[in-house]
C-alpha cells in the first residue's frame, strides 16, 4: 500500500456545511474526530491514523481578494495561485506565493491551510509577521475576532482552532508612502522546502528607518520576529553597512538549525545574507513609493 493510499484512508466521513455557523457547529460536535478542509495538501504530512470526518469549507464564499479600507482582505480558502496572480497598488504578497512549492500545489493549497497549522518549513507565517497582518476568526459571534499576527503566531495556531473556530480571512495592511517590503526564500530547488525564509517591512523617512518589522522561519523550530535586528535598524540610515550589522544580531534572537544536510553554521551565514537581501529589497521598494 502506498503512502497516498494510507492518507486517503485517514478520512472516515465528509460534510459540506452550508454556512460558517453550521461548519463550526459540526466541528464542535465532532471534536478531535473532525477537521476543516479546503485544499488538503497538508494531509500527507499528518500522522498515519484516521482523521475522522472532514468538514469541507470550500463552498462558504471564503475565496476572494479585495481591498477594504487600509487592508487587502484575503479569504481563508483562497488558493495561493490566486494570490500569486493578483496585482494591486501597494500590494506585495504575490512575490512570496510564486516561490511556494510547484504551480500544481499552489493551485490547490490555500492561505488558511498554510497558516492554521504551521509546519517548520512554512513561508507565509514569516511574511505575515513582518507585514503585521490580522487574522479574522469566526467564533460564533456576530463579528469575527481580529487577531494580530504577533498573537496568532505566538504558538501553534492549530490549538486556537481545536474547539471548532474557523479562520475566515487574512487582512494585509496596504503599503503606505515610504513603506517597503522584502522577502527572501532560500531553497535547494524551486519545489524544495525552504532552508531559510526571512521577511522585512521598513518605513523610510529622509533615508532613515522610522519603523521596522523583521521575521524569520524554516531554519528555526517556529517562525518569529527578530527584535534585536529590529532594534539595530530603528532610526538608522538605510545603507548596506547598517543592514549587515543588524543581520548579524539575528543570532541574539534565534538559534539556527541545520537543514537538508547543511550545517547550522552554514544556515547561520545563509540567514544573515538573506536578511541583508530582504532589507535592501524593502528599502528599494520604499524609495519607489511616493504616495
Per-residue pLDDT band for 92 (boundaries 50, 70, 90) equals confident
Residue 253: which residues within 8 A CB-CB, separation 6 or more? 224, 225, 226, 227, 228, 229
Residue 54 counted as domain residue: no
Q: 264 and 159 share a domain?
A: no
**Residue 55 counted as domain residue:** no
Write the CB contacts of 279 (distance below 8 Å, at least 6 apart in sequence): 182, 200, 202, 214, 233, 238, 243, 246, 247
| Domain at 211, CATH number | 3.30.390.50
Residues 158 and 189 in one domain: no
Q: Give the residue from 145, 172, 199 where a domain finishes.
A: 172
- The CATH number given to whatever domain includes residue 110 is 3.30.465.10
* Residue 57 maps to a domain: no
Query: What pLDDT was estimated at residue 4?
Result: 46
Domain membership flag for residue 143: yes
More confident residue, 202 or 11: 202
In a domain, 56, yes or no: no
**Whether residue 166 sits in one domain with residue 185:** no
**Is residue 209 a contact partner of residue 200, using CB atoms and an 8 Å limit?**
no
Q: How far apart are CA 198 and CA 254, in angstroms?
A: 12
Give yes or no: residues 22 and 80 share one domain: yes
> Would you call 99 helix, strand, or coil by DSSP?
coil
Could you tell me if residue 205 is inside a domain?
Answer: yes
Residues 6 and 149 reside in one and the same domain: yes
pLDDT of 1 above 50:
no
Which residue, of 127, 147, 172, is where some domain finishes?
172
Q: Which residue has the cell 524551486?
A: 190
Residue 7 clears pLDDT 60, i.e. is over it:
no
Residues 115, 2 share a domain: yes
Q: Are residues 141 and 12 part of one domain?
A: yes
For residue 269, tell me if it sits in a domain: yes
Task: Tell me: do 243 and 210 sit in the same domain.
Answer: yes
Average pLDDT value over all residues in the chain: 90
**71 and 127 housed in the same domain:** yes
Residue 145 half-sphere exposure toward CB, CA atoms < 13 A: 15
Q: Backbone phi, then psi, for 278, in 5-degree steps?
A: -65, -40
Q: CA 15, CA 286: separation in Å to the nearest integer?
A: 46
List, for residues 199-244, the tens digit of each pLDDT value. 999 999 999 999 999 999 999 999 999 999 999 999 999 999 999 9
Under 8 Å between Cβ of 237 and 208: yes
The residue that leads in pLDDT, 115 or 192, is 115
pLDDT digits (tens, 9 = 90+) for 100-154: 777 787 868 899 989 999 988 889 999 999 999 999 999 999 999 999 999 999 9
What's the structural domain count of the chain? 2
β-pairing verdict for 208-217 and 196-205 = antiparallel
Q: Are residues 84 and 144 in the same domain?
A: yes
Exposure string of 33-49, with b = 16+ CB inside 10 Å and e = fewer, is ebbbbbbbbebeeeeee
Domain range spanning residue 44?
A: 1-49+62-172
d(CA 31, CA 96): 34
Per residue in 231-280, pLDDT tens? 999 999 999 999 999 999 999 999 999 888 889 999 999 999 999 999 99
Residues 43, 126, single domain; the answer is yes
Do 188 and 166 fall within a single domain?
Answer: no
Residue at a domain's end among 146, 172, 198: 172
Residue 291 reports pLDDT greater than 70: no
pTM of the predicted model as reported, rounded to 2 decimal places: 0.91
Amino acid at each position: 500500500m502506498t503512502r497516498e493510499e494510507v492518507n486517503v484512508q485517514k478520512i472516515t466521513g465528509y460534510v459540506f456545511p452550508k454556512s460558517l455557523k453550521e461548519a463550526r457547529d459540526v466541528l464542535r460536535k465532532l471534536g478531535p474526530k473532525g477537521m476543516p478542509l479546503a485544499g488538503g495538501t497538508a494531509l500527507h504530512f499528518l500522522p498515519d491514523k484516521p482523521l475522522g470526518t472532514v468538514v469541507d469549507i470550500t463552498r462558504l464564499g471564503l475565496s476572494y481578494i479585495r481591498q477594504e479600507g487600509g487592508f487587502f482582505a484575503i479569504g481563508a480558502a483562497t488558493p495561493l495561485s490566486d494570490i500569486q496572480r493578483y496585482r494591486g497598488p501597494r500590494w506585495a504578497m504575490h512575490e512570496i506565493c510564486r516561490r511556494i512549492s510547484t504551480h500544481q500545489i499552489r493551485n490547490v493549497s490555500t492561505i488558511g491551510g498554510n497558516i492554521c497549522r504551521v509546519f517548520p518549513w512554512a513561508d507565509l507565517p514569516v511574511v505575515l509577521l513582518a507585514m503585521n497582518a490580522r487574522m479574522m476568526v469566526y467564533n460564533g459571534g456576530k463579528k469575527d475576532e481580529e487577531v494580530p499576527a504577533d498573537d496568532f503566531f505566538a504558538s501553534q495556531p492549530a490549538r486556537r482552532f481545536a474547539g471548532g473556530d474557523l479562520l475566515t480571512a487574512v487582512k494585509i495592511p496596504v503599503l503606505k508612502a515610504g513603506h517597503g517590503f522584502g522577502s527572501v526564500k532560500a531553497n535547494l530547488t524551486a519545489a524544495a522546502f525552504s532552508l531559510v525564509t526571512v521577511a522585512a517591512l521598513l518605513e523610510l523617512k529622509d533615508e532613515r528607518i522610522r519603523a521596522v518589522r523583521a521575521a524569520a522561519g524554516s531554519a528555526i523550530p517556529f517562525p518569529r520576529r527578530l527584535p534585536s535586528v529590529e532594534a539595530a535598524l530603528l532610526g538608522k540610515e538605510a545603507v548596506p553597512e547598517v543592514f549587515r550589522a543588524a543581520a548579524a544580531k539575528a543570532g541574539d534572537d534565534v538559534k539556527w538549525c541545520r537543514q537538508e544536510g547543511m550545517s547550522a553554521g552554514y544556515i547561520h551565514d545563509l540567514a544573515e545574507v538573506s536578511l541583508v537581501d530582504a532589507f535592501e529589497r524593502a528599502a528599494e521598494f520604499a524609495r519607489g513609493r511616493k504616495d
